[in-house]
Amino acid sequence: MAQDAAFHREQRQVAAGMAAAALIAIAAIAITLWQGGGTAGPVGERLAVALRLDLFVIVWLLALIGNVARLRFFSAQDIAGSANTTASQTVRQGNAILQNTLEQVVLAVAVHLALAATLPRPELLITTLVVLFGVGRLLFWLGYARGAAGRAFGFALTFYPTAFALIICALLILTGRAA
């Protein structure tokens, strides 16, 4: 019974963190779309802007690869690499954060490029998405050791903006309103 109560409490905390992040994402995207901004440029220029902005998304992979390397370097158990030993809890956690970030980066970059190809003026929206991604990843990384409730807000602040942007792209394409 106590395990069930703790599980349900953690579920509520996860749901609250994810709901808060979803609301922030919706508000940020809505404000950004309402602001508009910029003049429509050729699709090649819009894609170039997206790629430049996405360097700030990709930097998270660099940071987390570097973190796992650092963790291995300072661990007698892990220095030989994952193919030669069983990883310590610390390195397994670092790898889990890295794996999740890789997945999020792949999805975000693809969606940002789709936005650049779909919207006539995507710069402000992609900038907003990149900022949310960075804050989300930082909070995910910092909260990971505190369990599901500790990482939920950061995960959702990374995931939901990308998911909502993908939905926006799909709707624009399906309704014939893509640039």
Q: Is the pLDDT of residue 125 over 90?
A: yes
Residues 4-14: tens digit of each pLDDT: 888 999 999 99
pTM given for the model? 0.93
**Cβ–Cβ under 8 Å, residues 112 and 137:** no
Q: Which CATH architecture has domain 2-174?
A: Up-down Bundle (1.20)
**Is the separation of the CB atoms in 114 and 126 below 8 Å?**
no
Is 37's pLDDT higher than 80?
Answer: no
CA–CA gap between residue 19 and residue 107 (Å, rounded): 21
Q: How far apart are CA 86 and CA 32, in angstroms?
A: 46
Contact 101, 60 (CB under 8 A): yes
pLDDT of 104 > 70? The answer is yes
What integer pLDDT is reported at residue 82 of this predicted model? 79
pLDDT of residue 40: 73
Instruction: Answer yes or no: are the C-beta atoms of 49 and 126 closer than 8 Å.
Output: yes
Mean pLDDT of 91-114: 98
Mean pLDDT of the residues in the chain: 94
The pLDDT confidence band at residue 147, using thresholds 50, 70 and 90, is very high
pLDDT category, 1, cuts 50, 70, 90?
A: confident
Residue 129, token pair as written in the block: 């998405």
The pLDDT, as a whole number, for residue 38 is 61
